[in-house]
């Protein structure tokens, strides 16, 4: 659902849904090879269908796309940034698909050497943590980009934020943006829940406090209308 911002509020023009405050996006260090011109600099082409690719290479490509997305965001090229973050997530999906194929191959073969090779190709604990970190950063950054639009798709913002919270339930940005999204979608109870959760992480954030006040006002008005109804 796309909605214009109500009068007096400017969350759609800020990176993290804050009122009158710009977010810098993900704090990702951008390498010299990163660019925001629509091309992938310093990166090799993707694998052919069925071609095995080293997990480390896929993770590295995802990191590079994420960094390029951060650079696009800094240059206020939000549409391009969204494309880069999606490309990063696509690389990770390819990684997971490859893992599934390797596991299927190992389970269908009785050869011990085949099973051993499959085990060695699976993600290490460090790689798994890296994949999850990239996913969290990308979904958070996608939400930040969407909040820059003149007509914000709050349904999509909510979707991305909830994906983050499934992986990291105490993520402040995702909690806060979820509250903002639910507020603009008219679900003030859920908005208040997520906003209060975010306030418990950063009690002095004035934007969180402001949105809590707005949500409480909306709920109070709804309650008053119900009492006045015949």
pLDDT digits (tens, 9 = 90+) for 37-71: 655 544 544 544 445 568 889 999 999 999 999 99
pLDDT given at position 11: 45
Q: pLDDT band at 13, cuts 50/70/90?
A: very low
Residue 4, in any domain of the structure? no
Question: What pLDDT sits at residue 6?
Answer: 46
Average pLDDT over residues 109-133: 68
Q: How far apart are CA 172 and CA 20, in angstroms?
A: 18
Phi, psi of 22 (to 5 degrees): -100, 135
Band (pLDDT 50/70/90 cuts) for residue 14 is very low
Mean pLDDT of all residues in 99-122:
52
Instruction: Note the pTM of the prediction, 2 decimals.
Output: 0.73
Q: How many CA atoms lie within 13 A of 128 on its CB side?
A: 7
**Total domains, the chain:** 1
Q: Flag whether 11 is in a domain.
A: no
Give just the sign of the alpha carbon dihedral 98, 102, 107, 109. positive
* Residue range(s) defining the domain that contains residue 92: 18-146
Per-residue confidence band for 30, with pLDDT thresholds at 50, 70 and 90: very low
pLDDT for 109 beyond 80: no
53 lies in some domain: yes
* β-bridge partners, 3: 152
Q: Is residue 210 part of a domain?
A: no
pLDDT tens by residue, 156-182: 999 999 999 999 999 999 999 999 999
Q: Is residue 93 part of a domain?
A: yes
Q: Report residue 112's pLDDT band, with 50, 70 and 90 as the boundaries.
A: very low
In a domain, 198, yes or no: no
Pick the range with the lowest mean pLDDT from 34-38, 168-172, 213-217: 34-38
Torsion angle of C-alpha atoms 3, 78, 163, 171, degrees rounded to 10 = -100
User: First CA to last CA across the chain, in angstroms?
Assistant: 32
Q: Is the pLDDT of residue 203 over 70?
A: yes
Please report whether residue 154 resides in a domain. no
CB 34 within 8 A of CB 67: yes
Q: How far is CA 48 from CA 51, 86, 95, in A?
A: 5, 19, 13
Q: How far apart are CA 179 and CA 193, in angstroms?
A: 7
**Structure confidence at residue 178 (pLDDT):** 98
Do the domain assignments include residue 140? yes
């Amino acid at each position: 659902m796309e909605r214009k911002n109500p009068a007096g509020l400017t969350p759609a023009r800020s990176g993290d849904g804050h009122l009158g405050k710009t977010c810098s996006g993900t704090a990702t260090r951008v390498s010299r090879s990163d660019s925001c011109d629509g091309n992938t600099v310093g990166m090799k082409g993707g694998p052919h269908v069925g071609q095995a690719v080293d997990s480390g290479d896929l993770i590295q490509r995802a990191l590079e796309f994420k960094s390029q997305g951060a650079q696009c965001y800094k240059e206020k090229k939000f549409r391009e940034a969204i494309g880069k973050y999606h490309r990063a997530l696509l690389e990770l999906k390819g990684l997971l698909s490859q893992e599934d194929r390797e596991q299927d191959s190992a389970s269908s073969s009785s050869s011990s050497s085949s099973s051993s090779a499959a085990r060695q190709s699976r993600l290490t604990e460090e790689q798994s943590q890296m994949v999850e970190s990239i996913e969290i950063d990308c979904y958070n950054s996608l939400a930040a980009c969407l909040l820059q639009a003149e007509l914000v798709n709050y349904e999509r913002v909510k979707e991305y934020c909830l994906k983050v919270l499934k992986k990291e339930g105490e993520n402040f940005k995702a909690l806060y943006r979820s509250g903002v999204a639910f507020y603009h979608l008219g679900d003030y109870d859920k908005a208040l829940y997520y906003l209060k959760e975010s306030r418990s992480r950063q009690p002095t954030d004035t934007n969180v406090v402001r949105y809590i006040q707005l949500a409480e006002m909306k709920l109070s008005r709804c309650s008053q209308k119900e009492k006045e109804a015949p």
